[in-house]
Structure 1
Amino acid sequence: MLQRLSLLRNGELKDILQRCGWPVSGTKAVMAMEIQARSHRSRLTTYQRSRPGMLEPAEKQLDEHRILSIDMGIKNMALCLLRVSRQEIFSSEPVTPEILNWQKFSLYDHHLNHGYENSLNSGTQDMDFASVSLAPLATALARQLITTHKPTIIAIEKQRYRTTGSAAVQEWTLRVNKLEAMLHATLRVLQEEGIWEQGATHSICPQKTTGYWLGRYGLTDGARKGTVTKPLKVKLVKSWLENGQNVVYKKSNFLAADTASLFSKVSSEAKTRTGEKLDDLADCLLQGLALIHWEISRLKLLEGWE
C-alpha cells in the first residue's frame, strides 16, 4: 500500500486523511505512512478485560453498535445515542443510524436529581470546581452512562489544552478539561473492573468533526470561527431532520423526537425562537455520525487498495 500511496499527490493524501478522520499534517511521506498505519485500526473495535488492569480486543465483536457521543460541558452537556448495525456499515448502501436518545443537561442539576447532593463539597447552589467536588460528578455520570445507555462505543469531545498561537485557554475550558480527564479515567476503571463488559472510548477533536462535515457539504469557505460554524452546523442538522437524511428517529421515541422538534424552530442565530441554544445538541450528533462515516471511509479505502 505504501508504494501506491507514494504515487498520490499531497492534496489526494490529505483528502484521504480528512475523509477517515485522521490527522492531516506532515510531509507526503509522513502522510502516506500515517494512512498505512491507521488503515487497519477500526475505531469500532470493542475491548474487554483480559486480566486485572489489562484490556484486549474482544474475541467476538458485536453485530450492533450503540454509539454514545458526548459534547462536554458542566452547565451545558449534551449527548446523543446512535444505533447502527455492523451489517449496515459493511453494506454499499447509505447508512442511516437511528437516534435512540438525544438530550442536553446541566451536570450539576443532573447530579442533584440523582441523589448525590451530599457528596458535593459545597453548601450553596454555586458549584465548587475543585477536583474533590468534580470527582463524584464524573464517577456518578460514568456509571449512569454505562448502566442507562449500554453503549458499545463512547465518543467524548476533546477539550482545548493549549493556546495554539491564539488567545489564552479560558478558565472555564480548563475546568471542563479536568472533568473530561476524570470521565476517561472512570470509564477505564469500569472496563478494567468488568463493570462495563465490552466497549471502547475515543477522544474526538471538535475541529476535525466540524471540518469533516462542513468540508463535505462545501461550507468551509471562511468558516473557521465558532460564531460562523455553529449556525452552519445547526442548519445542516436541521436540513437532515427535515429531509430524512443521514439519520432517523422514531416519532414515538420522545427521547429523540422532542429534541429533533427543536430544530424545526431554529432561528438564524442557531437558537430556537425561545432562545434555547442548539449548537451543543448539533455537535454531539455530528460527532457520533462522523465516527461512523470515518469507519466507512476506512473500509472503502481498504477495499479500494485490495
Structure 2
Amino acid sequence: MSSKLLASLKLSQLKHAAFLTGLPSAGTKADVTAVLESNISTRTPVQTSTRIVSVDMGIRNLAYCVLDVPTPSLSHASSTKPSPLKVLEWKRIDLLHPSAIEPQKPPTSSDTQVKHSTKKPAPIPASAFTPSNLSHTALSLSRTLLSHAPTTILIERQRFRSGGGPAIQEWTVRVNMLEAMLWACLTTLRQTSSLDRTLSRTEAGSGAGAGEFPAVFEVLPARVAGFWVGEPGVSLRMTAETFTSPSLEGRRIDPGALTGVSSSSGRKRVQKKDKVAVVRSWLDENKGNGKGNGNGDGNPDVSLVFSGEAAKIAKAFAAPNGRSSSSRGTIEEGKGVMEESEERMGKRDDLADCLLQAVAWVRWGENRDMLAMLLRS
C-alpha cells in the first residue's frame, strides 16, 4: 500500500517528504522513493519519552545540550499545542581545559579574579593533539555524555574541507580525529555494557538487565541548517494536507542550500548568524525567561523550557551582543557558571548548532511517524 501511494507522488512531493523527515533528497524518483520506503515503512513510533544529548563537535569550543522529549504523539497534526521540549543542559566547553569535563566545585572569589585577569592564557602544547592525549579526552567526553543517561546521542558529522577549498586545515584534522575517537569509545563502551548485561542476566537467572545503551547517530550539519533556514511560510510539520497543496516548488531542499554553497536558484549560503537568529526567534517571545516559542519565519511550533544553568545560558543567548561573535565567550567552561552573561555572551553559533540539531531530530522523528501513519491509512 505504501509503495503505491509513494509511486503516485511527484518527484517534488517525494523530495519535500524527504526534506521534512531529514532524509537524503537527491536523485531520481526511484532513488528518493527507495530512501523513504526503507526509513518510513518499517518505522515503529516510540511510545516513551526520550532524552537526547546533541553534540556540536569541537576541541576548544565543543557544545552540547541535553533535551528531554515528552512522550511523542501525533497531536502536532491537530490544533493541540504539543508539550514543550525540556532543555536540561546547554553548554560550551573547552576540552583542553584540565577540568573541562570533570565535576567541579562552585567557583571561589579567587577563581573569578583569575578569570578576569588580563593575562593571556598559556599556549597549548602541540602534544595536546596527539592520539595518545586525545584518546583520553575522547574517553572522558564519552563518559560525560553518558552520565546524562540519554536514550539517543547525536554527533555532528565533520567535514574534511572548509568552503570547498583544496587544502585541509590543521584544526579540521584535529577535530576529525577526536570525532573518530569519540565514536570508537562509544562503540567500545556499548559492546562492553552489552557483555556486562549478558553476564548479569546469566548470573541472575532472569531476563532483567541494566538499561539499554543509547543509540548513537551522526547528523549532517548542512541538512540541519537547510531545514531551519529557508523560505518563510513553509511548514516544517508533516500533516495530512502536506501533499495536497497546489505546488511544491522545493526551494527549501535546493542542494546548494544544503551544502552551504550558492546555487543557480539564487539561494544564499546559510551563515552562522542565520542559525543564531533561528534560536533567538525561539527565545524572543519571553525574552529568554526560560521559555521560548518559535514563531519566527519558517520555524513554527517550537516550544522550549530551560532549567537550571541552561536557563541562564538561554537568557544570555537572547541578550543583545556585547562584542563580536568571533570573540571568546564568558562562560566558565566545565563549571556551568555565567559571569556578566547578559552583557556579553560571546560566541553563540556552537550553542545554536547543538540545539538546532537536537530539535531537528525531534521534528524529523515526528514527521516520519506522521508519514508512516499516512502511508498506512
Q: Shorter-chain TM-score: what band?
A: 0.7 to 0.9
Q: Distance in 2 between matches of 1:176 and 1:193?
A: 25
Matches within 5 A, 1:128-167: 128-147=128-147, 149-161=148-160, 166-167=165-166
Unaligned 5+ runs, structure 1: 46-60, 116-122
Please tell me the residue identity of whatever aligns with 1:248: L
Q: Which residue does the alignment assign to 1:106?
A: 94
Q: Distance in 1 between matches of 2:304 and 2:75?
A: 17
Please tell me the residue identity of whatever aligns with 1:78: A
Q: Which residue does the alignment assign to 1:174?
A: 173
- Name the stretch that deviates more: 217-226 or 230-239: 217-226
Q: CA deviation at 1:264?
A: 2.1
Q: Distance in 2 between matches of 1:138 and 1:303?
A: 40
User: 1:235 and 1:163, CA in 2 relative to 1: closer, same or farther beyond 3 A?
Assistant: closer
Q: Distance in 2 between matches of 1:186 and 1:62?
A: 29
Matches within 5 A, 1:59-98: 63-86=48-71, 88-92=72-76, 93=80, 94-98=82-86
Deviations 1:43-88 (A, max 9, x none): x99xxxxxxxxxxxxxxx77221100000000000011000122x3
Q: CA deviation at 1:133?
A: 1.3
Q: Which residue does the alignment assign to 2:213?
A: 198
Q: Distance in 1 between matches of 2:96 and 2:49?
A: 32
User: 1:247 and 1:41, CA in 2 relative to 1: closer, same or farther beyond 3 A?
Assistant: farther
2:231 maps to 1:231: no
- Name the stretch that deviates more: 256-265 or 282-291: 256-265
Q: Distance in 2 between matches of 1:82 and 1:181?
A: 24
Q: Which residue does the alignment assign to 1:3?
A: 4
- Name the stretch that deviates more: 94-103 or 281-290: 94-103
Q: Distance in 1 between matches of 2:92 and 2:164?
A: 31
- 8 A Cα contact 2:52 2:67, kept in partner: yes
Q: Which residue does the alignment assign to 1:260?
A: 314
The secondary structure found in structure 1 opposite 2:155 is strand
The secondary structure found in structure 1 opposite 2:54 is strand
User: 1:113 and 1:70, CA in 2 relative to 1: closer, same or farther beyond 3 A?
Assistant: closer
- 8 A Cα contact 1:111 1:137, kept in partner: no
Please tell me the residue identity of whatever aligns with 1:264: A
Deviations 1:104-140 (A, max 9, x none): 010111556739xxxxxxx974252111111000001
- Name the stretch that deviates more: 97-106 or 193-202: 193-202
User: 1:162 and 1:27, CA in 2 relative to 1: closer, same or farther beyond 3 A?
Assistant: farther
Q: Which residue does the alignment assign to 1:241?
A: 283
User: 1:218 and 1:173, CA in 2 relative to 1: closer, same or farther beyond 3 A?
Assistant: farther
Higher normalized helix content (fraction of residues): 1
Q: CA deviation at 1:34?
A: 1.0
Q: Distance in 1 between matches of 2:58 and 2:42?
A: 29
Structure whose CA Rg is larger: 2
Q: Distance in 1 between matches of 2:74 and 2:233?
A: 26
Q: CA deviation at 1:29?
A: 0.8
Q: Distance in 2 between matches of 1:71 and 1:111?
A: 19
User: 1:292 and 1:89, CA in 2 relative to 1: closer, same or farther beyond 3 A?
Assistant: farther
Q: Distance in 2 between matches of 1:162 and 1:201?
A: 24
Q: Which residue does the alignment assign to 2:225?
A: 210
- 8 A Cα contact 1:99 1:247, kept in partner: no
User: 1:139 and 1:216, CA in 2 relative to 1: closer, same or farther beyond 3 A?
Assistant: farther
- 8 A Cα contact 2:157 2:219, kept in partner: yes
Unaligned 5+ runs, structure 2: 104-121, 197-210, 235-251, 262-267, 286-291, 294-301, 327-341
Please tell me the residue identity of whatever aligns with 1:25: A
CA RMSD of aligned residues (A): 3.1
User: 1:113 and 1:132, CA in 2 relative to 1: closer, same or farther beyond 3 A?
Assistant: same
Q: Distance in 2 between matches of 1:99 and 1:275?
A: 18
Q: CA deviation at 1:277?
A: 0.9
Please tell me the residue identity of whatever aligns with 1:114: E
User: 1:228 and 1:301, CA in 2 relative to 1: closer, same or farther beyond 3 A?
Assistant: closer
User: 1:113 and 1:9, CA in 2 relative to 1: closer, same or farther beyond 3 A?
Assistant: closer
Q: Distance in 2 between matches of 1:124 and 1:232?
A: 33
Q: Which residue does the alignment assign to 2:203?
A: none
Q: Which residue does the alignment assign to 1:53?
A: none
The secondary structure found in structure 2 opposite 1:159 is coil
Please tell me the residue identity of whatever aligns with 2:223: K
Q: Which residue does the alignment assign to 1:22?
A: 23
User: 1:284 and 1:217, CA in 2 relative to 1: closer, same or farther beyond 3 A?
Assistant: farther
The secondary structure found in structure 2 opposite 1:83 is strand
